Amino acid sequence: MPEIHNPNLQTQGPAGGGSGGDMRSTTAFMLLVIVAFFAYQYFFSKPQPPAPAQTQPQPAQTAAPATNSPAQSASAAPAAATPTAAPVTTPAISAAIESDTTIENELYKIVFTNRGAQVKHWILKKYFDSAGKPLDMVQPEAAARFGLPLSLFTYEPALDQQLNQALYQVTAAGARPSATGLLVAPTSITFHYAANGLDAVKTIHFDTSYVISVETRVTRNGAPVRVLLQWPAGLGDMEEFAQGSMIHAQMRTPSYFAWSLDGKENSQSASKVSGNNTLDEPYQYVAVMDLYFASAFLPDAPERATVVTLHNAIQLPSNPSDPSSKKTPADVLGIAVGDTSGNTRLRLFVGPKATDVLSSIHAAGPDGKQDGPALEPLIEFGFWSFIAKPLYLLLRFMVLHGIGNWGWAIIISTVVFNLALLPTRIAAMKSSLKTMRIQPKVDALKRKYAHLKATDPKRAEMNTEMMQLYKAEGVNMYGSCLPMLVPLILLWPYFRVLEYAVELRQAHWMWLPDLSQPDPTYVLPILIIVTMFLTQYITPSPGMDPTQRRMMAFIMPIFFGFMLLHYASGLALYWCTGNVIMLAMQIAINRSEMGKEMHALAARRANKKIGRK
> pLDDT value at position 549?
64
Burial bucket for residue 59 (CB in 10 Å: 0-12, 13-18, 19+): middle
In the predicted structure, residue 327 carries a pLDDT above the cut 90 = no
> pLDDT value at position 594?
74
Q: Which of 241, 164, 247 is nearest to 198 (CA)?
A: 164
Whole-number Å distance between alpha carbons of 219 and 201: 9
> pLDDT value at position 175?
65
In the predicted structure, residue 456 carries a pLDDT above the cut 50 = yes
> pLDDT value at position 465?
80
54: Cβ contacts below 8 Å, ≥ 6 apart: none
> pLDDT value at position 432?
74
Whole-number Å distance between alpha carbons of 502 and 325: 31
Return the higher-pLDDT residue of 466 and 100: 100
Q: Which of 111, 496, 139, 104 is nearest to 295 (CA)?
A: 139
165: Cβ contacts below 8 Å, ≥ 6 apart: 115, 116
Contact 370, 346 (CB under 8 A): no
Across residues 170-178, what is the average pLDDT?
76
Contact 608, 443 (CB under 8 A): no
> pLDDT value at position 171?
92
- The pLDDT-based confidence of 236 (bands split at 50, 70, 90) is confident
Burial bucket for residue 375 (CB in 10 Å: 0-12, 13-18, 19+): buried
Return the higher-pLDDT residue of 200 and 464: 200
Out of 82-86, 106-110, 156-160, 534-538, which region has the weakest mean confidence (pLDDT)? 82-86
Whole-number Å distance between alpha carbons of 102 and 194: 23
In the chain, the amino acid numbered 605 is R
> pLDDT value at position 271?
87
Return the higher-pLDDT residue of 567 and 178: 567
Whole-number Å distance between alpha carbons of 274 and 271: 8
90-112 burial: b if 16+ Cβ within 10 Å, else e: bbbbbbeeeebbbbbbebbbbbb
- The pLDDT-based confidence of 240 (bands split at 50, 70, 90) is confident
Q: How far apart are the first and last CA of the chain?
A: 124
Q: How many CB atoms lie within 10 A of CB 134?
A: 14
Whole-number Å distance between alpha carbons of 296 and 378: 9
Contact 283, 375 (CB under 8 A): no
Q: Could you report the per-residue pLDDT of 349-399, keeping only the tens digit for each?
A: 999 999 999 999 999 988 888 999 999 999 988 787 888 889 899 999 999
In the predicted structure, residue 19 carries a pLDDT above the cut 80 = no
> pLDDT value at position 32?
55
Where would I find the H helices in 44-78?
A: 69-76
Q: Please, what are the domains in the chain?
A: 100-380 (2.70.98), 388-438+475-612 (no CATH)
Q: What is the 3-state secondary structure (H, E, C) of 364-376?
A: CCCCCCCCCCECH
Q: How much is the mean pLDDT over the chain?
A: 79
What phi, psi does 104 have (nearest 5°)? -130, 145
What phi, psi does 222 have (nearest 5°)? 85, -10
Return the higher-pLDDT residue of 48 and 345: 345
Across residues 107-126, what is the average pLDDT?
96
The winner for highest mean pLDDT among 18-32, 152-166, 179-193, 243-257 is: 152-166
Contact 446, 466 (CB under 8 A): no
Out of 92-101, 205-214, 594-603, which region has the weakest mean confidence (pLDDT)? 594-603
The winner for highest mean pLDDT among 115-124, 140-149, 479-488, 501-510 is: 115-124
Q: What are residue 218's DSSP bridge partners?
A: 200
Return the higher-pLDDT residue of 415 and 490: 415
What would you report as the CA-atom Rg of the chain, rounded to the nearest whole angstrom? 36
Helix (H) or strand (E) holding 550: helix 546-565
What count of Cα atoms within 13 Å lies in the side-chain half-sphere of residue 174?
2
Across residues 140-159, what is the average pLDDT?
93
Q: Could you report the per-residue pLDDT of 410-447, keeping only the tens digit for each?
A: 999 999 988 887 887 777 777 777 777 777 777 777 77
Helix (H) or strand (E) holding 332: strand 327-339
In the chain, the amino acid numbered 363 is A
C-alpha distances out from residue 67 to 45, 90, 402, 566, Å: 21, 14, 70, 61
Q: Could you report the per-residue pLDDT of 295-313, keeping only the tens digit for each?
A: 999 999 999 999 999 999 9
Whole-number Å distance between alpha carbons of 81 and 77: 9
In the predicted structure, residue 293 carries a pLDDT above the cut 90 = yes
> pLDDT value at position 120?
95
C-alpha distances out from residue 448 to 434, 435, 537, Å: 22, 19, 32
Across residues 167-183, what is the average pLDDT?
80
